[in-house]
Structure 1
Amino acid sequence: MTLIEAWAEFAVRWLHVITGIAWIGSSFYFIALDLGLRPPLEPKEGVKGEEWQVHGGGFYHIQKYLVAPAKMPEDLVWFKWEAYTTWLSGFALLILVYYLGADFYLVDPNTLDIPSWAAILISVGSLAFGWIAYDLICKSKYGDDHTKLMIGLYVILVVIAFFYTHVFSGRAAMLHLGAFTATIMSANVFFVIMPNQRITVADLKAGRTPDPKYGIIAKQRSTHNNYLTLPVLFLMLSNHYPLAFASQWNWLIAALVFLMGVTIRHFFNTMHATKKLLWWTWGATALLFLAIVGLSLAPVQNMDWEDEAKLTPAAQRYAAAPGFEEAAELVINNCSMCHAPEPGVPGLGHAPNAVRLDSEGWVATHARDIYLQAGVTHAMPPGAYNYMTDEDRAVLVAWYRAAQ
C-alpha cells in the first residue's frame, strides 16, 4: 500500500461517513415526521395530516397528502443522492480495503483457506443475492404481512451472518453483513421508493389520479430501512473493535445487534406516533447489550491461539523480502509485549485488535499494518512503550517496500 492509496482510503471513508450522516438524518427525520402527523385543524382536500415544528428560530407548517396534491408543485425536492452516494462510497471503500487488500483483511486461512479472487466473487455475489432474495419476498404474498415479513428478513440476516463468519475473516464478516444490509437499504431507494415516486409525479403531470398503492409500497420499504439503520452502524464500526468481530460467537453477536436496532427504534417510533414512552425497550436493549458483552468476553478469555500464522501468498512475499529478519526482530522486540496471547503489560487482558506479533509468521501476516502504524507513522508502539528510533522505523519501511 502506497501513502497515496492510504490517503485515498481515508478520503473515501470520510465521504462515506458524511453522506451516511446526511442519509440517516433525512431518513430518521421523515419517519419521525410521518409518525407525528395529526389531522389538520382546518380540513383540506387530500391532506392526511399536518405538523407544526420549530427549529433554528423559525416555525414550519408541514402537510402530508394522502396520495398526492391535485397539481404538480413547481419546486419539488427529492431525497435520493444521500442514499446513492453512501452506497457508492461504501462499495468504493470495500474495494480499496477488502478487495485490493484481500490477503490481509478479507481472507483468513484459519477460517477458510480460499484464494482472494474466490473471496471477492463471494462478496460481490452475496450482496447481489441479498437484494434479489429480499425484493422477491417483499413482492410475494408473504410480503403482505408486515410482521411475518420482518421476522423472515431477520432470519435471513442471521443465516447470512453465520455464513459470512465461516467464509471471511472476523473483521470482514461483520463488515460484509453491514454491507449486505446497507445494499438492501440503498436498493430500496433506487429500485422501489424513487421509481414509485416518479410514477406518482408522472400521473400528476398527465392529469391522472395517482394510485395510492405506490406510496404504500414505498412506505413499507422506508420502514424497513428505518429499523435496519442502527444495526448497520454497529456493524460498520465493529471493524475497529475486536471484541465484536474476533469472537467465535460473532454471528450471534450480529443477530442480537439486529434485535437491539428494533428495540431502540421501537421506542422512538412509538414516541413520535403516540407520545408514549416505552421505557421497557431500553431495559430490553440493555439486556441484549450485556448478552453481547458476555459472548464477546468468553472467547477472549479462552482464545485458542494458533502457534503460527498460516501464511497467505502476500505474507509469504513479505517473509521472503530483503530485510525481513531484521524487521521481524525489531517488531518482536518492541511489540510482542502487548501483541501476544498473554500480554506482558499490566491491565491488558488480550492482544490489541486481536493482532499477534510474537513470531516471524505473524509479523509477515501483519506487514501492511506494521508499515502504516510503525513505519511511516509513529502511531505504534504507544508513547509510554515506544523505544523505536527513526532508524528502526526506516528498516521497517525499507523491508515493506522491498516486497512491493
Structure 2
Amino acid sequence: MAEFFSSAWVPSAGLWMEWLQLLLRSLHVVVGIAWIGASFYFVWLDNHLEKPLDPELLRKGVDGELWAVHGGGFYNPQKYMLAPAGLPQRLHWFYWESYSTWLSGFALFVAIYLFQANTYLIDPRVQAWSTGVAVTLALSFFVVGWLVYDLLCRFVGIGNDAAEQLFKERLLGLLIACFIVFSSWLACQLFASRAAFLIIGAMLASIMSANVLMVIIPGQRKVIEAMRAGKLPDSMHGKRGKQRSVHNTYFTLPVLFAMLSNHYSSVYQAQHAWILLCLLMAAGAIIRLWFVQRHKGQQKPWPWFVASLCLAGGVVLSTHKPEVPAPKLVTLPEPVWNLVQLKCISCHQASQASKQVRLDDPTLVISQREAIYQQVVITRQMPFNNATGITEDERQLIANWFVESAQPPTKQ
C-alpha cells in the first residue's frame, strides 16, 4: 500500500487533464441530451395540441390538449394560455437543462481551448496572436454574439397581426442568418479553423441558453407573479418567450453540426471552411424546419432538397484544400530530431512506414511537419495509444517548432 501511494503512483498533470476533459465531455453530452430532448418534446407538443371539445375545459381556459400513450400509461397534457385560477404552488420548470449544458460546455471550452490556446486556438498561419488576445477574442464572440442577436430581436420586434408578424419573422430570420454568416467568416480569419467551428457553435449555444436565462424564464416568472397577485399579465412576455423558443429549436441542429464537424479535418481544413460551415448549419436549420412542418401535418419535400444541396456543396468544398505558400527555409532542431528518433521512427522507417509516412530522415521530418503537428499536438492521435510514452513537454516541443517554422521570414 505504501508503494501504491508513493510519488511514483501520483497521476501526472496530463492524466488529470484527460480525466477532467472526459468527465466534462460526458456531463456536457448527458445534460445536452436532456435539454435538446425537452426542447424537441415541447415543440412537438405545441404543434400537436388540439382545441378541446369539452365545454368545461374551455371554461377553465384550456387552449389545447393532447392524449398520448407511453410506457404503459396514458397522458393528457393541457395547455393554458394564461395560468388557471387555481395556480398550484409547485410548478415544474425547465431551465437547469439549459444552464447545466452551457456551464459544462463552457468549462470544457476553457479546459481545452483557453488553457491550451497555443495548441488549439491559435494557428500562426492564420493570425499569430498572443495567448491573451486570442482568449479575449474567443470570449468576445459569446458576449457580442448575444448582444447583437438580442438587439436584432428587439429592433425588429413582434407583429401585431398575422401578416405583420410573418413579415417581421422573415426579416429577423434574414438578419440573424446574415449575422451568423459574417461571424463564421470572421472566426475563420482569427482562429485555427478547428477552433473557429467550435466557437461559432458555442456562440449559438450561448445565445440559446441566454434566451432561456434572460427572456423566457424571467417572462414566465412575471406572468406567474401577476396571476398570483390577481393582475392581468402582459401578453408580450408570452409572445417574446415563444419567439426565442422558436429560434432555439432552429439553432439546435446547426449547433450540433458545428461542434461535431470540428472532429473531421477534411471539413474544417477546407479551402473555404467558413462557407462549408455555413452550409452545414443551413442544412441543420432546414432539416429542423421540415420536422416542425411535419408536426403540423405539412410534409413538404423542398426542405430535404435544399438541405441535400447544402450538404452536397459542403462535400464539394471539402475536396479543395487551401493553397499553402512556399515556406521559408526550415531547419530541424536537434532536440526535435532526437525526439522523432526516440518516439516516432519505430513505426515510420523504411522497413515499417505506417500509412506510408517515413520519418527516418531529417528532410522527411521537415516535409511532414504540418502532419506531425496535427497528429501529435492538435488531434493527439500519435503516437498511437501513446505507445512510446510521449510527454506533454515533448508535444509542446513539437508545437513550438511548428509555430516557429510557420512564421514569415524576417526582413534583413
Q: TM-score range by the shorter chain?
A: 0.7 to 0.9
Contact kept, 8 Å, 1:336 with 1:358, in 2: the verdict is no
Give the match for residue 132 of structure 1: 147
Q: 2:28 aligns with which of 16, 35, 57?
A: 16
Return the letter of the residue paired with 2:87: M
**Normalization by structure 1: what TM-score?**
0.82
In 2, the alpha carbon distance for the partners of 1:276 and 1:365 equals 46
Please state how far the C-alpha of 1:141 moved relative to its aligned partner.
Answer: 3.6
SS of structure 1 residue aligned to 2:47: helix
Please state how far the C-alpha of 1:211 moved relative to its aligned partner.
Answer: 2.0
Paired-residue identity, %:
36
Contact kept, 8 Å, 2:254 with 2:284, in 1: the verdict is yes
Please state how far the C-alpha of 1:252 moved relative to its aligned partner.
Answer: 0.6
Give the match for residue 249 of structure 1: 272
Please state how far the C-alpha of 1:357 moved relative to its aligned partner.
Answer: 8.1
In 1, the alpha carbon distance for the partners of 2:62 and 2:218 equals 23
Note the alpha carbon deviations across 1:335-368, whole angstroms, 9 max, x for none.
669xxxxx638xxxxxxxxxx9855686567654
Give the match for residue 397 of structure 1: 391
Q: 1:173 aligns with which of 186, 196, 199?
A: 196
SS of structure 1 residue aligned to 2:340: helix
In 1, the alpha carbon distance for the partners of 2:78 and 2:90 equals 15
Note the alpha carbon deviations across 1:120-166, whole angstroms, 9 max, x for none.
00011121001011111111245651111011000000000000000
Between 1:263-272 and 1:170-179, the stretch displaced more is 263-272
Please state how far the C-alpha of 1:306 moved relative to its aligned partner.
Answer: 6.4
2:327 is equivalent to residue 304 of structure 1? no
Contact kept, 8 Å, 1:367 with 1:400, in 2: the verdict is no
In 1, the alpha carbon distance for the partners of 2:370 and 2:96 equals 45
Return the letter of the residue paired with 2:315: V
Contact kept, 8 Å, 2:258 with 2:281, in 1: the verdict is no
Give the match for residue 329 of structure 1: 341
2:283 is equivalent to residue 289 of structure 1? no
Q: 1:191 aligns with which of 214, 218, 222?
A: 214
Note the alpha carbon deviations across 1:174-203, whole angstroms, 9 max, x for none.
000001111100000000000001001111
Give the match for residue 316 of structure 1: none
Please state how far the C-alpha of 1:270 moved relative to its aligned partner.
Answer: 1.1
Flag the 1:193–1:399 CA change in 2: closer, same or farther, 3 A. closer
In 2, the alpha carbon distance for the partners of 1:152 and 1:74 equals 41
Between 1:21-30 and 1:53-62, the stretch displaced more is 53-62
Please state how far the C-alpha of 1:329 moved relative to its aligned partner.
Answer: 2.8
SS of structure 1 residue aligned to 2:190: coil
Q: 1:149 aligns with which of 172, 187, 190?
A: 172
Give the match for residue 41 of structure 2: 29
Matches within 5 A, 1:77-226: 77-141=92-156, 144=159, 145-226=168-249
Flag the 1:165–1:399 CA change in 2: closer, same or farther, 3 A. closer
Contact kept, 8 Å, 2:120 with 2:378, in 1: the verdict is no
Give the match for residue 71 of structure 2: 56
Flag the 1:211–1:238 CA change in 2: closer, same or farther, 3 A. same
Contact kept, 8 Å, 2:62 with 2:81, in 1: the verdict is yes
In 1, the alpha carbon distance for the partners of 2:319 and 2:21 equals 31
Please state how far the C-alpha of 1:71 moved relative to its aligned partner.
Answer: 2.4
Note the alpha carbon deviations across 1:60-104, whole angstroms, 9 max, x for none.
111111222222223210000000011111111111010011001
Contact kept, 8 Å, 1:177 with 1:235, in 2: the verdict is yes
Give the RMSD, CA atoms, in angstroms. Answer: 2.9
Please state how far the C-alpha of 1:379 moved relative to its aligned partner.
Answer: 2.6
Stretches of structure 1 lacking an aligned partner (at least 5 in a row): 312-318, 338-342, 346-355, 381-389
Note the alpha carbon deviations across 1:38-61, whole angstroms, 9 max, x for none.
111113232111111111111111
2:85 is equivalent to residue 70 of structure 1? yes
SS of structure 2 residue aligned to 1:240: coil
2:28 is equivalent to residue 4 of structure 1? no
SS of structure 1 residue aligned to 2:127: coil
In 2, the alpha carbon distance for the partners of 1:357 and 1:20 equals 42
Note the alpha carbon deviations across 1:15-50, whole angstroms, 9 max, x for none.
111111000000010011011111111132321111
Contact kept, 8 Å, 2:121 with 2:134, in 1: the verdict is yes
Contact kept, 8 Å, 2:44 with 2:292, in 1: the verdict is yes
Please state how far the C-alpha of 1:228 moved relative to its aligned partner.
Answer: 0.6
Stretches of structure 2 lacking an aligned partner (at least 5 in a row): 1-12, 160-167, 350-354, 358-364, 401-412
Contact kept, 8 Å, 1:174 with 1:239, in 2: the verdict is yes
Return the letter of the residue paired with 1:231: P
Flag the 1:230–1:335 CA change in 2: closer, same or farther, 3 A. farther
SS of structure 2 residue aligned to 1:166: helix
In 1, the alpha carbon distance for the partners of 2:272 and 2:289 equals 26
